Structure 1
């Protein structure tokens, strides 16, 4: 065997040993790799699917201020938004019959007042309105299908200007309006006066209920090849479990599969996991 052949054999042996060492190092790295993850507990319970409908607010009651005779406004004692009590003086008018005192017909808030001192006003239309804003009426227009979700006297959650309130359903229309929709009315307390007339309001009404469901955070579910999975952490390993989604409501999802209440599922870090990856569970914020 010549020197050239011996040299080539030595080079091949060295390359083979290096490759083996590299494979061993790679396997060792994979075995030692620990993925930091955050988890959440699986629960069992009813998952309620809610539907949002949008409407506007209106005073719960209004009373018009009607003039006895037309005339000229001498003095105006209030402006829109003022709170008045029954018989409070609203304005004085000069009329052919003399001075006319205009008084509030009830307690409430002055709205729709458009006149000013010196203006001529008619007695054919309301001079202003007194609105009861201690509670507000909520008005919605819904389809026939959505109408079926409502029950009279039911109490539902509503949101106005990022604040939550409770409202009671007071009326459910039985005939469609000109647009083919059905009118729903509700009433919400407004003692602090924060809800203004004409405010857009959101109401959530239960649409569907999944009873005794296994519920996981929606963030824990991921898709792969048109199938759904979660990672369940057992003995510091992430076990990949196939699941079937029943329903999803925002941040919660009802599933079926080899997952039970009390299990810990991965909610962050699962994109870097494979089945039986070693994990280090971190505490969330």
Structure 2
């Protein structure tokens, strides 16, 4: 009897447990269904937007440029000899004609004296030959000497005349070589390190440079643009000056800018770019050869363009597009990019000034899907990031 009572109690507990599980599952099922409308309500993608603008937009290219010397000269010896002295300091600014080096002039001065003496001797011989020729001419006319003697006197005179001319050339050469013992600067510029010191033998054949001089006032800037910019560049050069601006400032704090005065006559086949150059006065010597600078070049202007932020434009299988928010939904609009400066993009498409385009949160957006605007950037040149939300913030913004 006692065992029968225990079995009844046990069966009752099992039944109560089963009933509790069934009721719990039913409540969970009903509760989940009841929450569905609320979750559906909050399934809108959170986004940030900016306004489409209509304004003029400059077509500007940014690239990296290299500063190069306006002229670079390697100063070498023109004659062989011992280097007596260097008459400048390394890194010194020199003017054209300034004395840089002195080579021992004594051998060349002796060669000059020798050439001068030879010239004097041959001049004396020439004068004597001319007197002989005059005497032989008179005797020949009197038929007292043969024609052979007359011709020999004439030939001797001509030979000595030629010898005197050769002596003059040798004298000029000796004078030039003596002048080469003083090595002077061929240009205005800044000297580099001294490569050969006093006491060394220098030569005009196979000798190393003595010093290098770079002309840096004015100075050149070399940079390259993609060949796709060539039509814009050529059109701009016909009507306007193309200005190159670099990220350096003059003594008054203004950005350094100079007109492009050289365009290469060929496209680099390896990089697909064309080289351009501009001359900068460099009066403050702030630019040095080999220096890398950021270059900005204005190639064109797009008047009355539709401008959207760079982050608003996405790429799809059919080209570029933007999402326009209308009545809480994201409408996809295909656009054609006219120019992108990495901050703003000039586009063509079915857009109007003031339209709100999505600039952040596109990964969660589907065409014609619901979106929730968390904040708006003021214009097409603005940028922002989604801020972390706190519980209840989304519902507050939705209610507003």
Shorter-chain-normalised TM-score: which range? 0.5 to 0.7
Residues 118 and 234 (structure 1), Cα distance of their counterparts in 2 relative to 1, 3 Å cut: farther
Determine which structure has the larger helix proportion and give its number. Answer: 2
What's the C-alpha RMSD, in Å, of the aligned pairs? 4.8
Question: Which whole-Å CA distance do the structure 2 matches of 1:229 and 1:175 have between them?
Answer: 36
Mapped contact 1:59–1:131 kept (Cα < 8 A):
yes
What's 2:196 paired with?
Answer: 115
In the alignment, which residue of structure 2 is the partner of 1:138?
Answer: 221
**Alignment gaps of 5+ in structure 2:** 1-20, 110-177, 249-254, 378-383, 386-400
Displacement of 1:194: 4.2
The separation in 1 between residues aligned to 2:326 and 2:97, in whole angstroms, is 74
TM-score if structure 2 supplies the norm length? 0.51
Distance change (3 Å), C-alpha of 1:38 and 1:135: farther
Q: Is the 8 A contact 2:218 2:279 kept in 1?
A: yes
How many residue pairs get matched? 273
Inter-partner Cα distance in structure 1 for 2:245 and 2:203:
43
Distance 1:255 1:174, change over 3 A: closer
Gap change, CA 1:209 and 1:26, over 3 Å in 2:
farther
- Contact 1:241–1:258 (CA<8 Å) still a contact in 2? no
Q: Which residue of 2 aligns with 1:58?
A: 68
Unpaired segments ≥5 residues, structure 1: 1-10
Counterparts of 2:228 and 2:43 in 1: how far apart (Å)?
54
Tell me the alpha carbon deviations over residues 235-267 of structure 1, each in whole angstroms, 9 at most, x when there is no partner.
8x4x31322232252333233445333344332
**2:175 aligned partner:** none
Q: Find the counterpart in structure 2 of residue 155 from structure 1.
A: 243
**Secondary structure of 2:104's partner?**
strand
1:243 is matched with which residue: 330, 333, 340? Answer: 333
Larger Rg: 2
Q: Deviations over 1:94-122 (max 9, x none)?
A: 23347955444554211485322332223
Which residue does 1:7 correspond to in 2? none
Alpha-carbon shift at residue 133 of structure 1 (Å): 0.6
Q: Which residue of 2 aligns with 1:261?
A: 353
